[in-house]
Structure 1
Amino acid sequence: MLTGSPPGDQGVGQIIVKEICRSYPQDRVVCFATLSRHEKWEKPAEFKDLRVRIGVKRYEHRIQPMPGPLGATFALAAYWGMFRRHCHHLTRDAIEFGREHQCEILFSILESATNIQITDAVARGIGIPKRVLVWDAPDYIATHLGQMPLSVSAISTAFQKAMNNADGLAVVSDPMARLYRQQFGMESVILRHAAPPAEPHDDSLSDDSKRETDPIVIAFAGSVSARPQLDVLQRALDLIHWRIAGREVRLDLYGMRFVLESRGPRNVRYCGYRSVAETVEALCKTADVLFMPQPFESELASFTELSFPTKLSTYFAAGHPILLLSPPVSSLGEFFQECPFGVWCQEMEPSKVAEAIETIVTDKHVRATALQNIREQLEGAFSQNFFRKQLHRFLAPSITVA
């Protein structure tokens, strides 16, 4: 396995790789993980027999020590020289590791510019077929790193090489599957992470005795990939004075870092970072509505239209209706049309978001439909059993399931 996330609990990538590694005997998997020099990783005790080698990735981010044309020229030279030369060294190390353990197939997660750059060469160097898993489009990955257009184009070219002649493809969304079928003529397996669900419970707003005393809690958990949407949510709550049906509204934030600004009173509680299991438990016990934003910015269109945030798996596991704020063309919007899991607001307008908030809080039919659909998803496409079945479809018959 070639990945930027060794098995662990620090971040979504490590959690997903941990579940993948749990699905197979440890003597059937070896892991070459590329980490930045600032990332620390300690092998979990449950993987004591898993063979792991860490390669240090460098020069992924745009390096421009000065503004203007001279700085831009330096940034391009850094990519074409320093980054690609370093990737060449990592490629040799990964090939040596794969040959040492007599690997039969390369399972590469194209989650970073480094992995995209080295995947095809590693597979050819070992002389084995490759199967790739895509979480995000290459232009989003490159743009997120601050790379210039020529470097973005180069990373996209490396992505095409990684995809060409792949023996199998796994993706996270139906729009991504359609796009890559059109571009590469490949059928995909949909492979989405499934968080262990909380204990089944009734609608948190169904108990009339709570209406006078307890706040209505809207919660957001995870990293902020759509900060403007989080700001719009709070501006929408400003319009209704942070009250619905006579009850106070509180916004709970779970994550490592948030930047908040306000010129008036707001009711926000920062809950800090928690593991996925701890987050699911806390959301289940305290939240009434979960907030799921996707970016509206044109430069982030590939992320909005193709990616499928793992946050939704966490929210489903918590078992509350979800307020989706995303453009009309979006991966989650398409999924919502098939499986309404709350209320979908398609406009970055505070008044429209305020209407959506009031609907998802007060409309019992909307809430009941959402909860029923979420329960069905937890028993089907968002169950851990389904994740393992899809993983086996993707990798079989090369690896025997434990």
Structure 2
Amino acid sequence: MTREAPRKRILLLTDIPPCSNLTAGIVTAQMCRFLPKDELAIFCVMNPHLRPMLCDDLAGIEMKTVRKPTELQRRVLRGIRVGRAGAAAIEAMKRIALPRRLIRQAIAYGRAVGATDLWAILQGQTMVRIAAPVARGLGVPLRVHVWDPLRWWLDAHGVDPVNRRLDLALFDRTLQQAASCAAASIPMARHYEETYGVPSTAVIASIDPALAQAPPPKLISDDSVVIGMVGQFYASEEWAQLVTALKIAKWRVGERKVVLMTFGHERPPNDVPDEHLRFMGWMDQPEVIRTLAEHCDIAYCPYPFAERMAEVSRLSFPSKVPTYLAAGRPILFHGPSYSAPYAYLNERGAAYLCRDLYPSAVYNGLAHLIEDSTLYEATALAARGAFLADFTLPRMERAVRRFLGYEGGKAGQAHGLEVV
């Protein structure tokens, strides 16, 4: 008589819940769908300013939400200037006092739901400060999930050098104590496994293969070219170089008028004339993919060249890339040659790669794709092939379940997803 393996109960410790209107929440939601609802509970430490739209199909998952402390260091507090030293002192006090309450709450909740594993998303200093203590308090394996290097978050939130150094050291110790790691890219997984000795798996945003669009043999129109851009403008300097190049060229490539079509919560930075911009606002992913396929000729993917962003470029992977590949559109990639997306797209031949920041480089790349019909068609075909090979839901499901410690056999058929 064989003994059944004990049933898992994963506690997800996150700062953004599974949802349909925030990028991290969309990917987390898809990961949650790979697990039976009764094997998952969520403890969400959320910024009170966020307004996530929760997913109806995940409504049955138990969830407790608490307030996340402010992570942005301010030198003016309630109208009083505290200066650099004061801001650092306040951060030090938050480091000592606030995590204790969050840790106690998370442990109590984890015990109440019978947690057997802790899946902790390490986004921001608060989550890094509480993840390992919660796992220790529950006596369960710690499975860490990293979207972007912590250094980038600390820079973006103006954290002072002393607290920054302490948080980075704590991040290192947390990775060393983890039982497994979900990383944002293959280079990140490889780097963390080599550096910390933690078994690491690349878990990248993926899409239902039924949404894949047929690649175009040529540009949609004979007199214009539409460039699609999805998501946030964190690579703002690169975007500015594209806009500068198009301004210099009077918004034309040869005889074709250039139009930028952008998708997201905010209009793009820099001045783009109304006749050359179509701001589509926020759309759900299937609609974005269909719109790109029907109305865009080229998908633009900027990635940071700045030295301060080098770690992000090397280790992270933009979620817009799978969306572009599913749309079957050739990608104009504008980023450094050492970056994770550059390495992947170069290997797959699914993009024209502009590895210089300057306006002339990105404009020449755009012109090559437009004017060389053979290159355009081949790049579009490679994009579809890359999507089907690497970014479908069954592949993502296998990676997620490996990370969460589901051993052997088929990865299950949660929510009707079949692994092939």
Please give the TM-score of this superposition, normalised by the length of structure 1: 0.93
Distance 2:196 2:302 in 1: 30
Counterparts of 1:198-217 in structure 2, within 5 Å, are: 198-203=211-216, 205=218, 210-212=221-223, 215-217=224-226
In the alignment, does 2:363 pair up with 1:354? Answer: yes
Deviation of 1:175 after TM superposition, in Å, equals 2.1
Distance 2:193 2:32 in 1: 28
Hey, what does 2:63 align to over in structure 1? Answer: 52
Aligned residues, how many? Answer: 398
Counterparts of 1:294-373 in structure 2, within 5 Å, are: 294-373=303-382
Hey, what does 2:267 align to over in structure 1? Answer: 258
Hey, what does 1:105 align to over in structure 2? Answer: 117
Hey, what does 2:160 align to over in structure 1? Answer: 148
CA distance 1:163–1:354, shift in 2 (3 Å): same
Check the 8 A contact 1:2/1:107 in 2, yes or no: yes
Deviation per CA, 1:147-194: give whole Å up to 9, x if none: 122222122122122212211112121221232123212332111011
Out of 220, 245, 248, the residue aligned to residue 239 of structure 1 is 248
For the residue of structure 1 that corresponds to 2:49, the secondary structure is coil
Q: Percent of pairs identical after alignment?
A: 25
Between 1:365-374 and 1:167-176, the stretch displaced more is 365-374
CA distance 1:144–1:376, shift in 2 (3 Å): same
Deviation of 1:264 after TM superposition, in Å, equals 8.0
For the residue of structure 1 that corresponds to 2:390, the secondary structure is coil
Distance 1:260 1:130 in 2: 40
CA RMSD of the aligned region, Å?
Answer: 2.3
For the residue of structure 2 that corresponds to 1:252, the secondary structure is strand
Out of 24, 27, 36, the residue aligned to residue 16 of structure 1 is 27
Deviation of 1:372 after TM superposition, in Å, equals 2.4
Deviation per CA, 1:98-153: give whole Å up to 9, x if none: 11111111111112222111100000011111111111111111111121222221
Hey, what does 2:389 align to over in structure 1? Answer: 380
Equivalent residue letter for 1:277? P
Deviation of 1:27 after TM superposition, in Å, equals 0.7
Counterparts of 1:183-202 in structure 2, within 5 Å, are: 183-196=195-208, 198-202=211-215
For the residue of structure 2 that corresponds to 1:132, the secondary structure is strand
Deviation of 1:70 after TM superposition, in Å, equals 5.5
Unpaired segments ≥5 residues, structure 2:
1-11, 415-420
Please give the TM-score of this superposition, normalised by the length of structure 2: 0.89
Deviation of 1:266 after TM superposition, in Å, equals 6.7
Out of 65, 69, 72, the residue aligned to residue 84 of structure 2 is 72
Distance 1:265 1:387 in 2: 39
Deviation of 1:249 after TM superposition, in Å, equals 1.2
Counterparts of 1:273-284 in structure 2, within 5 Å, are: 273-284=282-293
CA distance 1:262–1:129, shift in 2 (3 Å): closer
Equivalent residue letter for 2:216? D
Between 1:75-84 and 1:384-393, the stretch displaced more is 75-84
